[in-house]
Copies of this chain bind each other. A is one copy, B any other.
Amino acid sequence: MYFEMQYRVPYGDTDKMGVVYYANYLEYFERGRTEMMRHAGMSYAEMEKAGFMLPVSEAYCKYIRSAKYDDLLTFRSWVSSYSRVKFTICTEVRRNDELLASGHVVLGCVDVNTFKVTRMPQQVADFCAKCALEEEK
């Protein structure tokens, strides 16, 4: 199961090469996964209030074709693997049928007060099970 959202590229996301600056794709990944979480019934904002944070421990992006100003992009996201303390979300950036970029981030679960790694709350585990394309053994 994957989730898709759309995004219009603003001027500020481009650089002098005339295309979207490479660091912005990590922001796109964040927008994609946040909306996927919301869609799956999990608000990241509420989860933080409940005492958990999900910092990124790893990020990777492969750039295939350039996104341009005013493009209407689609961010397609899914959970590719998860354990009790972390999970991986893949995101693809597409313009219609074209794949522009593809990558993933690994998110760990930490306690908001101690910043220590902690077991994911049930809500996150449920979200992972729901949005996973391939389940980790």
Contact = CB atoms under 8 A, between A and B. Distances in A.
A90 interface: no
A130 interface: no
B16 A22 contact: no
A58 interface: yes
Contacts of A105: 22
A95 interface: no
A4 interface: no
A63 B53 contact: no
Contacts of A21: 11-12
Contact of A70 (B10, B44, B53, B66): B44
Interface string A33-56: 011000000011100000001011
A30 interface: yes
Which of A8, A11, A55 has most chain B Cβ within 10 Å? A11
